[in-house]
Every structure is written in C-alpha cells, then in structure tokens.
Amino acid sequence: MAKRRKFTAEFKAELVLKVLSGATSQAKVCRRHNLNENQLSQWKQQLLENAPSLFESTDKQSSDAEKRIAHLGQLVGRMAVALNIPKKLLTELD
C-alpha cells in the first residue's frame, strides 16, 4: 500500500498562488506535481476562506494578552499577600 504524501503549508500556498495569479493553469500544476485537481481545489478554497483572517486587526490578540497579563498580575498579588501573612505572624510572635 502506498504511503500518503504530506505537503507543507508553504508548498500548498505556492501552488495555489501560481494558479490564482494565472501564472499557470490548475491542470498543469496538478500534472507537474502528480496531484488530483480536487485536492488543489480544496487547498485553494481553504486559502480563500482563511485569507481575511490574515488582515484582522491585532486588537483582539492584544486585548486577550492584556486580559491574561492582568489575571496573572492578580495571581501574583494574591500569592504575595499569602506569603506575607506568615511572615507578619512570625515577626509579631518574636
């Protein structure tokens, strides 16, 4: 039984961009790389569907990061308070 070939994301993007730019036809690309045209069509569809996400604002990503940083800061604060309580008790007992 033949092994399945695995293609890198860069390879897929390169082939799809060649077809979309009109540099070569889909049939030629498929023949040259021994691909089924349906497979290349799926890659093309994936690229076109996911292309808008490349241009999304990084505001959402930075907002999520800021929330995470704030949460971690709160945890550090709580831990510092929790560590200071026994220290205070020890100094008061002495």
pLDDT in tens, 70-79: 999 999 988 8
Q: Which domain CATH number covers 43? A: 1.10.10
Q: Structural domain of residue 69, as residue ranges?
A: 57-94
Q: Give the Å distances, CA to CA, from 54 to 9, 14, 48, 49, 70.
A: 15, 16, 11, 10, 27
Judgement on whether residues 9 and 38 belong to the same structural domain of the protein: yes
Judgement on whether residues 50 and 66 belong to the same structural domain of the protein: no
DSSP 8-state secondary structure symbol assigned to residue 5: P
Secondary structure of residue 26 in the 3-state scheme: helix
* Residue 6 one-letter amino acid: K
**What is the share, in percent, of the chain residues with pLDDT greater than 90?**
56
How many domains does the chain fold into? 2
- pTM of the model as a whole: 0.57
Judgement on whether residues 42 and 63 belong to the same structural domain of the protein: no
Judgement on whether residues 37 and 24 belong to the same structural domain of the protein: yes
Judgement on whether residues 42 and 74 belong to the same structural domain of the protein: no
> How far is 76 from 71, CA to CA, in rounded Å?
9
Judgement on whether residues 9 and 33 belong to the same structural domain of the protein: yes
Secondary structure of residue 78 in the 3-state scheme: helix
